[in-house]
A and B are shown apart, each in its own frame.
Chain A
Amino acid sequence: MTEDAKRAYWRRNLRLMVALLSIWFVVSYLFGILLVETFNRIVINDFPLGFWFAQQGSIVAFVILIGIYAWRMDKLDEEFGVAEARHQRGGGR
C-alpha cells in the first residue's frame, strides 16, 4: 500500500466516522435531551416525540449507524485492497 493510498483510506474512514457520530449526537443528545421539551409538543401515536427519541428512536438509530459503518467499511477495504484474505472467513452477516 502506498503512502498516498494509506492517507486517502484513512481520510475516508475519518469522514465516514465524523458523519455517523454527528447523527449519533443529534438523535440522542439533541433530540432526546437538549430539545426534548420542544419535541414533546409533537405527539405521534400517543408518544411525545422528545420522549420517544430518548427511549426508543435513539436506540434504533444507533443500531442502524453501526450497520452502515460496517457495510461502508467493507466497501472501503475492498476498494483499497486492504480487505482480509478469504481464508480468515471474516464474519459475514
Chain B
Amino acid sequence: MSTQFWTWIFVILTFGTYITIAWRSRVKDTKGFYVAGQGVPTVANGAAVAADWMSAASFLSMAGIIAFAGYDGSVYLMGWTGGYVLLALLLAPYLRKFGKYTVPDFVGDRYSDTARLVAVVAAIFVSFTYVVGQMRGVGVVFSRFLDTTVTVGIMVGMGIVLFYAVLGGMKGITWTQVAQYSVLIVAYLIPAFAIAGQLTGIPIPHVSFGRVMTELNAIQRELGFDEYSSPFVRNSQLNVFLITASLMIGTAGLPHVIVRFYTTRSVRAARWSAFWALFFIALLYTTAPAVGVFAKYNLLQTVAEQPRADMPAWFDGWEETGLLEHTDLNDDGIIQYTPDEATNELRIDNDIMVLATPEVAGLPGPVIGLVVAGGLAAALSTASGLLLVISSSVAHDFYYRRMRPDATEKQRLLVGRLTMAGAVVIAGYFGVNPPGFVAEVVALAFGLAAASFFPTIVLGIFWKRANAPGAVAGMATGLTLTAAYMVGVLYLGVEPIFGISPQGIGAIGALINFAVTIAVTRATPPPPEHLQQLVDSVRYPSGVDAVTPEEIGR
C-alpha cells in the first residue's frame, strides 16, 4: 500500500480523535474557557504544556537546523529547555497562587491598568509573530504528503482548530493537546530508534549517535566542511551565549506557556506540572540532536558525489516542492555538495529533514504516515494555545477588564468565542501567505517575550518595591529597543552592534528592561500597601490572605 494511503489513514484517525475529545470537553463558563476550570491533573497538564510548547518549529525544523548547524544548533536545544527551569523556579508557582486567567491579569493587578494595556499589546504581538510559523508548517506537510494545495491544507487544519478551540476553549485545547503530544512523541521516537538500530545496531539514538557523528565528521572534512561537532562555526561564542539566553528567558516569558500554569489544581501541582512538562519535552529534545546527525549522515551518504540519475523517488518528490534543489553547474550529472557557493550544486531546506529522513532511510509507509500526523499535531496544538492567548487578551483583558466590567458571564463567553474564531481566520490568512522561515520567525518572538514579560513578572514577585511607572517604562523600552534592533538589522541594513545577532538581542532587551524598571521605581513612590500584600499572598501557597479573597485562596 502506498505511503500516501497510510498518511491519509493516520491523518484521518488523529483528526477524528481530536474532534471526539473536543466534543466531550465543551464548556459553559469563562473559567472553563480560559483556565479549564483549574481542574487539569498534573501529568496531563505537563503533556499539554509539552504539546503547546513543541511547535512545527520543534518538530519539523529543529533537527534540520541542527543537522546543518552542528554544535551551533545547541542554542535551540539548551534555550528551549533551560527556560523551563526559570519558569518553574521563578514564575509558575506564584502565578498559580495569584490564580486569575491571563498574564496581563497579573501585570494589571500587580502594577496598574496602564501596565495591563502594555502587556495586552505585547501578548498579542508576540503570539501573532509565533502563530505565523505554525501555519506554514501545516502548509508544508499537506502539500508534500497529501497532494493538496497549501490553501486546502490550511483550511482543513483551521477547521479542526476552530472546532475544538471555540467549543471547548482551554479545556478542549488542553485535552486535545494531551492526545496531540502522544501522537507527536511516538511519531518522533519511532523513526529515530529505527534508524539508530539500522546504522549502529544499538537502537537507542542517545547512546549511538556519537559513533555516527564521528563518521559524519570525517565525511564533512572530506567534502571541505568544518567538522559537525566543532563549536562556533556559524555563530560567535558571544552570539551562542546570547541566543541561548534570549531563548531561555523568552521561553519563561511566553504568555501561552505561562498561562498553562493557571490551569492546575494547586500551587504544588503547578510545580510538578513544570517538571512533567520539561520531562515530556526532553524526550523529544534529547532525541533531536541524534535525528540531526542521522539525517545528515544518511543524506550525505545517499546524495553527495552521486549521479543525479541514481537518485531514489523521494528526491524528485522533494524537488517538486522546491525545498530541495539540484542545479548541475558543471554538467557532469553528479551532485556536488561543497561549502563553496560557486561549485555547490545542492540546496536543501532545513524544514524537510525530519519529514524526509524516514524516506531517505527507507522506512516503511506507515512510519512515514505517522511522522506526517505528528508534524500536524505539533503545529495544530501550538497554534491552538496561541489562539487562546490572543482571544483571551482581546475578550478578557480588553473587553471585560477595560471596556465592559459589567458584562454578564454569557456575554463574556460569547465574545471569547467570537474573538477566537476571528483569530483563527486571521492566522489562516497568514498560513496561505506565509512570511519567511519557520524557526527564524519563531525565534524573534522569543526575543520580544524575553524583553517584555519576564523581567516585569519576576520583579513583581521578588521585589515588593517594584511599582507601576517602573514596570510600564521597563516593558515599553525593552520591547521597543528589541523590536527596533531586529527590524533595523534584518530589514534596514543596520550594522549589528558588536556583531550581536537579532536572535540574541532579547537577552540584552531583558537586561535593559530590568535596569529601567529598577531605576524608574527608585525615582518614584513605592506601590500602595494592598499591592505589597498581594505580593505577600502569592509567595506562600496557603495561610496568607490576599486582598481579593473571592478570587484567591479557594
| Interface positions of A (Cβ within 8 A of B) | 1, 6, 9-10, 13, 17, 20-21, 24, 28-29, 32-34, 36-37, 40, 45-48, 50-52, 54-56, 58-60, 62-63, 65-67, 69-70, 73-74, 77, 81-85, 88-93
Contacts and interface: CB of A to CB of B under 8 A. Distances in A.
10 contacts: A20-B89, A28-B82, A32-B74, A46-B214, A50-B231, A60-B282, A62-B81, A63-B278, A63-B279, A91-B42
A74 B266 CA distance: 12
Interface string B538-549: 011111100000
A70 B275 contact: yes
B352 interface: no
B272 A56 contact: no
B285 to A, nearest CB: 5
Given A36-B71, A91-B272, A66 B541 contact: no
B541 A63 contact: no
B244 interface: yes
B229 interface: yes
A35 to B, nearest CB: 11
A71 to B, nearest CB: 9
Given A51-B231, A90-B267, A91-B269, A73 B77 contact: no
Nearest to A76: B541
- Which secondary structure characterizes the binding site on chain A? helix
A90 B266 contact: yes
A91 B265 contact: yes
A73 B540 CA distance: 11
Given A36-B71, A70-B275, A47 B210 contact: yes
Given A54-B77, A60-B282, A91-B265, A73 B82 contact: no
B268 A54 contact: no
B85 interface: yes
Interface string B248-289: 000000000000000011111101111100110010011001
B84 interface: yes
A66 to B, nearest CB: 5
B543 A81 contact: yes
A73 B85 CA distance: 14
B170 to A, nearest CB: 18
A4 to B, nearest CB: 14
B231 A67 contact: no
A67 B88 CA distance: 10
Interface in B358-415: none
Contacts of A89: 265-266
A76 to B, nearest CB: 10
Contacts of B244: 28-29, 33
Given A60-B286, A70-B88, A46 B77 contact: no
B237 interface: yes
Contact of B237 (A33, A45, A59, A92): A33
A56 B229 contact: no
